[in-house]
Amino acid sequence: MKTVFKLALVTALGLTSASGAFAQEFTKGTVKKVDDKAKKVTLVHEELKGLEMPAMTMVFQVGNDALLAKLKEGASVQFVAERVNGKLTVTQVK
């Protein structure tokens, strides 16, 4: 019985990793506004496939100060957005 449980656990972890990899897709966008105090950025972005959102302009939380420093108004960026604690958050920028 322990072997069946271990196999189920390994399978579940593998599926979680696969869905996490899909969420890491970079999306192209343009920085419209940066709010340093609120740690938010407004982006005009292409479709966010992993979040099933069409192209639009929207405000995102920014994961940390290092990411926030990379975001300058008018800049073209590639970013990853994920739901973190129920809020859309930019978690990677290049």
Domains of the chain: 25-93 (2.40.50.320)
pTM: 0.75
Instruction: Determine the straight-line distance between the first and last CA of the chain, rounded to whole angstroms.
Output: 47
Placement of tokens 């579940």 in the chain? 12
- Say how far apart CA 50 and CA 48 lie, in whole Å: 6
Higher pLDDT, 34 or 6: 34
Average pLDDT of 78-87?
A: 96
pLDDT in tens, 29-66: 999 999 999 999 999 999 999 899 999 999 999 999 99
Name the residue among 55, 58, 47 with its Cα closest to residue 25. Answer: 47
Q: What is the largest CA-CA distance in the chain?
A: 58
